Amino acid sequence: MSFDWKNLWDVASQIEAIWGWAEFVFFVLTYISYLAYSYYRAGSFLSRVLLEPGAGLRRGGRKMWLLARADAGLLFGRHASRFSAARRLAELEILAPAEKRPNRNDYSRAELDGYVKDLNAWRKHRSEREAGLITSLQAELRGPSSHFETSGFDLLGRCIEGVSSLLKGSKSSATYEPPHLKSFSHLDENRDAIRRYFLTLKDMDPKAELRFLSETKIDIGYVAPLILLTGILNRFDEDGGWKHILENYRSLVADDEPYSIETRELRSFLFNCWLLWGPSISLCSCSAWRCPAEANASYLLQYGYGDENQSIGVFWRSDSAPDEMESNQLLLPLRSEPDTVDPRIGILATARLAVPAVLRGHFRWGPDYRPDQICRAQQQVRGDPEEPNSRGGRVVLECASNRGLIANRSTLSSNYYSAYIWVIFVICDERGRLFYPNANDAWKNLLCFFEHGNIADATTFQALKEYLIAKVNNSLSEILERERILGKPIKIVYACALDDTNCSAEGKTLFPPSSHERVEPCASLSESDRTRLENTLSTKKERIVDILAEQILTTDISGKPVHPVLAEAVASGHLILPVIANADELDWGEVNFSSCSLPQIVDDFYHALGQPGT
């Protein structure tokens, strides 16, 4: 009996063929699964960051289709490239938010034509915006730092252009400019989306660097040597903030009776109102503003547009060591800008606190910084440490020390940037002891006065400081006289001001109001006019506390004080200003009222305000 080798060979060939097909099918299924997972991962990131829960596959698919239009290679490209492209698209959408679709229910039947017109305009804007997003995304994909291997080819756009050319004889063109930061208010409105971006990134790619991939250029901002304290409405959100003020605050001060009810109500209202939207404090050279050497970081500066409440922190980073030279260069116009020279008398005008600048950097989310990467005085940037995922964090623009500053734009700016101009005093008993010596209640000792004004124009800033002091003089005179008459004499001690940290001997205000400098005088004025203006302006006090001291010591033509109550209070030690009297003899223990301590004092107040049942 012979063995049929031929049949065996045929069986083996069939098995080999089947195995080859199985390998092919397995490869195809694996690749399809790989693409499906990759698409799902990128689409999931976009949906979680940009869309509300339950938005549906259609809207999520539209986002993915934008990626495919921007670069056909992403349809079959590497997994990492597709996820990075999704990140960049999310960043571009955050910086250039879409307009809201018109709501049919906002229009009456008679306004139906207006609704159709607005809807068509919205659809046109959406198409133009998407074209702009694709153009910007293509530029990002082709950028030298993108690490993409694809070429950035708009598949659908090229097809549409080709068909349009055949039908109309011309190419369609999108007039929409590449997306950029429209305004700081848009950035603040999208703070939730930025927060979701980083929370989602940490969840889906724990090893990723926690910053935007796209570098952003901003040419609409003012930079100031300040840091914004978190306002009540931001700390508790707008509805919660008002609720705490109206329901909780009253019980916190209802039993405070160390002085008259009138003074208590005025003090509590001014402190509440001063914190409502958040004031700013000046930078200092003390230890509260220094980061550990190994953190390779400097302090943050304020960068905003229009108002301090529409600002972000600018963080300068160096690969080797903290680089404060960039900050000094950025703020140089505060001290020596040529156009601040008064041509009438040939001296520099009074100080300002904000200068326009064009910056570029990468956005980050404040809570993602480690505590040792942010100095102690600016920890509010990181939000509430007990709620790391809360909305309390801030957006930070992180700039490289060698390329963050593009240009100062003083000649092209509007010279308008507003902020609270403020001064704070401490209320003590007649012997100089604090009515509330507990550090957690330090905020109850503060008496605030403030004025909202432009700090980017020297003349306006100076006038508003003087206007503020005029109000302070009247209020302090009334408070001191009332408490004396009621038999509850008090001491009022200067604490700090916007332009003066009044820190210990360890530190000083980093960017104090500049001193006048002589330049060549203007010859067009008469000698008498030039002398009169020179004597008036060259002796102007620029620090808020100096203006206060000068006005208190001013006398009329008969030699009597213009503010007799304050002059007598200074003489008797019931009003203590550092430029007139020495407050070092006051023993307040560990409680400090320099502006460097205000972040902690404000946090203690928010903790008390947010406690249920208070």
CA-nearest of 97, 86, 94 to 129 is 97
Comparing 504 with 326, which gets the higher pLDDT? 504
Given this model, what pLDDT does residue 266 score?
92
CB atoms < 10 A from the CB of 10, how many?
A: 11
Least confident piece of the model among 104-108, 225-229, 350-354: 350-354
Query: Percentage of residues in the chain with pLDDT exceeding 70?
Result: 65
521 — pLDDT class (breaks 50, 70, 90):
very low
In angstroms, the CA 449 to CA 461 distance is: 16
Please determine, for residue 557, whether its predicted confidence score (pLDDT) is greater than 50: yes
The DSSP secondary structure of 346-358, one letter per residue, reads TEEPPP-S-EEEE
Average pLDDT for the chain:
75
Q: Bridge partners of 228?
A: 280
Strand-pair category, 395-400 with 311-317: parallel
Q: CB–CB of 378/289 below 8 Å?
A: yes
**What pLDDT sits at residue 291?**
75
Q: What average pLDDT does the segment 7-24 reach?
A: 68
**What ranges do the domains of the chain cover?**
16-180, 220-609
Main-chain phi, psi angles of 189, to 5 degrees: -65, -30
State pLDDT tens for residues 259-291: 888 999 899 889 988 988 889 999 988 888 887
In the predicted model, is pLDDT for residue 516 greater than 90? Answer: no
Cα atoms in the Cβ-side hemisphere of radius 13 Å centred on 84: 21
- pLDDT, residue 286, reads 87
Predicted confidence band at 317 (pLDDT cuts at 50, 70, 90)?
A: low
The DSSP line for 33-90 is HHHHHHHHHHHHHHHHHHS-TT--HHHHHHHHHHHHHH-GGGGTS-HHHHHHHHHHHH
**Tens of pLDDT, residues 232-267:** 777 766 555 566 666 666 677 777 788 888 999 899
Rounded to an integer, what distance in angstroms lies between the CA atom of residue 588 and that of residue 493? Answer: 12
* Integer Rg of the chain from CA: 32
Residue that wins the pLDDT comparison between 385 and 372: 372
- The stretch 114-137 carries a mean pLDDT of 82
The highest-confidence range among 34-38, 158-162, 519-523, by mean pLDDT, is 34-38
Q: Which residue has the higher pLDDT, 45 or 422?
A: 422
Residue 349 binned pLDDT confidence (cut-offs 50, 70, 90): very low
Confidence tier at 505 by pLDDT (50, 70, 90): low
What whole-number distance in Å separates Cα of residue 154 and Cα of residue 135?
Answer: 9
Determine the residue type at 225: P
Handedness of CA 247, 249, 252, 255 (dihedral sign): negative
Tokens of 34: 């790989």
Find all residues with CB under 8 Å of 508, minimum gap 6, and list them: 284, 285, 286, 501
**For the chain, what is the total number of helices (H) and then of strands (E)?**
18, 15
pLDDT of residue 345: 39
How large is the average pLDDT for residues 98-110? 81
**CA atoms within a 13 Å half-sphere pointing along the CA-CB vector of 568:** 8
